[in-house]
Chain A
Amino acid sequence: MQRRKFLSLSGLAAAAALAPSVQAEDFRATKPTVWTAHTVEDAITAMYGTAKATESGVTVTMPDVAANGGAVPINVTSSIDAKSVAIFQNANPEAAVAAFTIHENSVINYDLKIKLKSDGTPITVTAIVEGKDGKLYSGVKTLTVALGGCEG
């Protein structure tokens, strides 16, 4: 009985030890405040502890005027040796859009379609790349949306 108990316990321990290497970071679980922050600066601070970023090395490509705010294409590229990438905007009720974990074989070239609320004023989309050197790099794109996408 004791041996069986020991085996099951050690099995559990092994599974727990293995888990992080197989399943990496879920930012929604580890950094819940990022997703409820209302301003870009608050969200970046919640994510990385600081909002200081060097504006270089990150390219954000979006149309200057998006016709449909329900699906605005965005492309983020960078050649920085990075740990993570995150996308924020200042149009919607909350600032965070997505956060990527960079793995060994990942290439930073992400395309997405995102929703942007429109009130006629220019929207700023910020992409933050967290380098392996611990510094933050950012790319910024300003655009306007003709028809908003968050109102449904």
Chain B
Amino acid sequence: MKVKAKLKGDIVKVKAMAKHDMTTYDQAKKKTGNSEDANFITRITASVNGKIVYEMSTSQFLAKNPIMKFQFKGAAKGDKVEMTWTDRKGNTETSKGKIK
């Protein structure tokens, strides 16, 4: 996962991309014949200094390798944004990005 964060005024703008196939039930059914093979990110969170600033529960309808942008307040330059995704099969990935 790539995380880029930039402080502008008092708002931090974050752009992040998760590398994930995001297979929908339809796609899995076409490919393997079993819609239960679908695998997609179900949850993405971002926290700064131990506080959650972004929290999303998602469905299979995010694009492949989904890009997300969001904003939050209350952080300083040099703080780290820690983002984690969890997918349907239970895999997780955590990445950090420094606020510039």
A-to-B contact residues, CB < 8 Å: 22-28, 35, 70-72, 89, 92-94, 96-101, 103-107, 109-116, 149-152
Contact = CB atoms under 8 A, between A and B. Distances in A.
B70 A110 contact: yes
Range of interface residues on B (Cβ < 8 Å): 35 or more
Interface in B47-84: 48, 50-64, 66-75
List the 4 shortest-distance A-B pairs measured between CB atoms, nearest first. Answer: A111-B69, A71-B63, A27-B57, A113-B63
A95 to B, nearest CB: 9
Interface of B: 11, 22, 24-27, 30-31, 42-43, 48, 50-64, 66-75
A70 B64 contact: yes
A97 B57 CA distance: 9
A111 B57 CA distance: 14
Given A98-B58, A111-B69, A103 B51 contact: yes
Contacts of A94: 59-61
A103 B52 contact: yes
Q: Which of the listed residues A97, A98, A114, A116 has the most CB atoms from chain B within 10 Å of its own CB?
A: A98
Contacts of B50: 22
Contacts of A23: 52
